[in-house]
Amino acid sequence: MISDPNFSEFSGQLSHLGVKTSNVDQVERKTLALGATELPRGLNWIRFQGSVCIELLQFD
């Protein structure tokens, strides 16, 4: 992802992206290790600094 220091989720830009994965826990651990932060919306919501929110969805 490309970071934008002027990004605002209220500026009319894309602010949320859902990603399906077969292992939410593993993807969450890897993204947190790469610098993402968990959001108060839930354990499966993350954000990289200056980026959109990412919702990790379990794909069965």
Range 1-12 average pLDDT: 63
pTM metric for this prediction: 0.72
Q: Provide the domain limits for residue 43.
A: 16-58
Has residue 33 been placed in a domain?
Answer: yes
pLDDT average, residue stretch 46-60: 88
DSSP 2-60: ---TT--TTSSS--EEEEEES-HHHHHHHHHHTT-EEETTEEEEEE-TTS-EEEEEE--
| The pLDDT of residue 16 | 85
Is residue 1 in a domain? Answer: no
Q: How many domains does the chain have?
A: 1
Mean of pLDDT values over 4-16: 67
Q: What integer best gives the mean pLDDT of the chain? A: 84
8 occurs within a structural domain: no
Span 21-41, pLDDT tens digits: 999 999 999 999 999 999 998
